[in-house]
């Protein structure tokens, strides 16, 4: 249950009205006593999760949502009236004139999670901006659907938790659970897949490169309460509390189909050498206005077959990118920063080198980096925004019809050793 002051008079009275200090304890006593008398089984009793002058929230977890609904629904109206009476000190008076109080009995949460598999090489985490963006989209969808169904939303849907691999968006209704379920259950069952695709970037198993090896999960359920940053998200998802709205959707992210690249014979298997490209691309300003550096981050990894020839190479000769031949004018230089210099060191630029016309091959060469230089190195493609507005317009990748085209946002690159016999192939994209 959440009880809060939702509107204030202007100007406020003096002293201003605020919720009583003992309201949390009073609501806990009211709810736990009512539940105990009804015989409903709880996994955890009601406890306070927020007690402030403007908002009080007490949460509990029922063993069975169906049992709780059946035995407690007839008492909901009386509980709401009692909660408001406790908050107002018995009723409306001059002290609380002009204030609006809202009370709701149950919440619904949408959980978006990234579950890593054993093949994840570079862990990926949600940024604060991504949490806010995804939460805004989910909240907007839920609010619009509720309003269209004429349901009363007493606590607006908003971001409740942003963890490395979990986004939680919650809201609360005062309409009955039956009304909410009847109006919105078909919606959340369909929308769960839409929200999952919002994160994965695909309706299938081909996700953005940085999600390869992850399973993207969306679940609609009850409110699990506060989530610790150290929480095991897999365990959390397996024990979500029940709700009148329930839905799940998930998809494992597989690597994209390996293209016919590079245009030479070499060993392209990832982890065949100790050189790898991280799957995320960052940006830096170019050397002049109207230019952008799209930067690929290199790393040292443990080769999958330590006794092989490729695993024992010790020099990184060059990096090749699958890029559109028709956009040669777009690249104005390649910025380099070895990994053994301070991160504030300015980029050193070299000219771009291209393969034969029709090969769609851009080369950053020669590099001749040692292991110390390769680990943590930065290779940045400086593009003219007037010719190529985004990196997606420049990089070539496989399309759904089996051909090659730009526009997907995925970039393919090979990292060559000094012998040019070993050229592990990687993908990267901007988050």
Report DSSP letters for 98-119, one per residue: T-EEEEESEEEEEEEEEEE-TT
What per-residue confidence (pLDDT) applies to 2? 64
User: What is the Cα–Cα distance from 24 to 57, expressed in whole angstroms?
Assistant: 8
Q: What is the CATH number of domain 2-104?
A: 3.30.70
Estimate the crossing angle of helix 177-200 against helix 65-72, to 10 degrees. Answer: 150
| pLDDT digits 0-9 by tens, 122-166 | 999 999 999 999 999 999 999 999 999 998 787 789 999 999 999
Record the tokens describing residue 37, joined without a space: 């008398």
| pLDDT digits 0-9 by tens, 232-255 | 999 999 988 878 899 999 999 987
Structural domain boundaries in the chain: 2-104, 106-252, 275-428
More confident site: 63 or 280? 280
Phi, psi of 430 (to 5 degrees): -80, 135
Q: What is the CATH number of domain 275-428?
A: 2.60.40
User: What is the Cα–Cα distance from 168 to 196, expressed in whole angstroms?
Assistant: 13
Beta bridge partners of residue 378, listed in sequence order: 297, 337
Which secondary structure element, helix H or strand E, spans residue 48, and what is its range?
Answer: strand 42-51
Q: CA nearest 115: which of 214, 35, 222, 211? A: 214
* Radius of gyration of the chain from its Cα atoms, rounded to whole angstroms: 28
**pTM for this one?**
0.75
Q: Is the pLDDT of residue 401 over 50?
A: no
């Amino acid at each position: 249950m959440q009880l809060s002051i939702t509107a204030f008079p202007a100007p406020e009275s003096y002293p201003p009205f605020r919720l009583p200090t003992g309201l949390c304890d009073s609501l806990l006593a009211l709810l736990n006593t009512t539940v105990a008398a009804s015989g409903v089984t709880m996994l955890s009793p009601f406890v306070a999760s927020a007690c402030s002058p403007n908002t009080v929230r007490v949460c509990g977890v029922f063993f069975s949502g169906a049992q709780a609904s059946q035995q407690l629904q007839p008492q909901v109206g009386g509980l709401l009236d009692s909660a408001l009476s406790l908050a107002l000190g018995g009723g409306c008076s001059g002290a609380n004139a002009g204030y609006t109080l809202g009370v709701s009995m149950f919440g619904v949460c949408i959980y978006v999670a990234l579950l890593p598999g054993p093949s994840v090489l570079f862990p990926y985490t949600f940024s604060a901006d991504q949490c806010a963006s995804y939460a805004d989209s989910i909240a907007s969808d839920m609010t619009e659907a509720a309003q269209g169904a004429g349901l009363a939303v007493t606590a607006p849907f908003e971001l409740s938790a942003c963890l490395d691999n979990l986004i939680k968006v919650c809201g609360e209704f005062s309409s009955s659970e039956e009304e909410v379920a009847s109006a919105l259950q078909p919606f959340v069952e369909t929308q769960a897949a839409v929200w999952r695709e919002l994160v994965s970037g695909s309706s299938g198993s081909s996700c953005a490169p940085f999600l390869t090896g992850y399973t993207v999960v969306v679940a609609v359920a009850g409110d699990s309460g506060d989530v610790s940053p150290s929480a095991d998200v897999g365990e959390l998802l397996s024990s979500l509390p029940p709700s009148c709205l329930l839905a799940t959707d998930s998809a494992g992210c597989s690597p994209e189909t390996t293209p016919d690249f590079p245009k030479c014979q070499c060993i392209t298997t990832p982890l065949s050498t100790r050189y790898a490209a991280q799957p995320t691309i960052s940006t830096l300003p170019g050397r002049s206005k109207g230019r952008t550096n799209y930067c690929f981050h290199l790393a040292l990894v443990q080769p999958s077959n330590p006794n092989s020839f490729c695993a024992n190479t010790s020099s990184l000769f060059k990096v090749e990118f699958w890029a559109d031949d028709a956009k040669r004018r777009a690249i104005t230089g390649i910025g380099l920063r070895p990994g053994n210099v301070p991160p504030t060191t300015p980029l050193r630029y070299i000219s771009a080198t291209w393969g034969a016309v029709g090969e769609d091959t851009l080369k950053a060469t020669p590099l001749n980096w040692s292991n110390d230089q390769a680990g943590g190195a930065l290779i940045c493609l400086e593009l003219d925004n007037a010719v190529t507005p985004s990196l997606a317009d420049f990089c070539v990748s496989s399309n759904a019809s089996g051909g090659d085209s730009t526009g997907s946002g995925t970039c393919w690159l090979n990292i060559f050793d000094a012998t040019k016999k070993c050229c592990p192939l990687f993908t990267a994209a901007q988050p």
